[in-house]
Amino acid sequence: LVTAESALVVLIGALLGGAVAFVGLLSIRAGLAEQTGVPVDLVVPWSVVGGVVGLCLLLAVLASALPTWRSLRDRPARSPVGVAG
């Protein structure tokens, strides 16, 4: 569950950040095309974007799963609830 939550946070952050960046890039492209008088292509290096998102996902999973795993590993076993011993 911890890993899934981390992946979801990275996915939502990548989508929101990508949407904001894309709008900004479109605005810059339009302004540059207007100033120069020639069409300007929007080039997005998708391999770099994918690599950065993948690295963020890896770091988020490690930063959340490792401490969780360590805390669960070191916890002593408990008796089931309701069992008198």
Question: What's the pLDDT tens digit per position in 21-38?
Answer: 999 999 999 999 999 999
Tell whether 6 is covered by a domain: yes
**One-letter identity of residue 28:** I
Q: Assess contact for 64 and 9: CB atoms under 8 A.
A: no
Residue 37 in 3-state DSSP? Answer: coil
Domain interval for residue 31: 2-62
Tell whether 36 is covered by a domain: yes
Tell whether 81 is covered by a domain: no
63-82 burial, b if ≥16 CB within 10 A, otherwise e?
Answer: ebeeeeeeeeeeeeeeeeee
Tell whether 68 is covered by a domain: no
Residue matched to tokens 């911890």? 2
pLDDT band at 40 (very low <50, low <70, confident <90, very high): very high
Tell whether 48 is covered by a domain: yes
Tell whether 41 is covered by a domain: yes
Counted domains in the chain: 1
Tell whether 11 is covered by a domain: yes
Give 50-78 pLDDT, tens digit per residue.
Answer: 999 999 999 999 999 888 888 887 766 66
pLDDT band at 83 (very low <50, low <70, confident <90, very high): low
The pLDDT score that the predictor gives to residue 78 is 66
Burial of 16 (0-12, 13-18, 19+ CB in 10 A): exposed
Tell whether 71 is covered by a domain: no
pTM over 0.75: no
**Alpha-carbon gap, residue 57 to 63, rounded angstroms:** 10
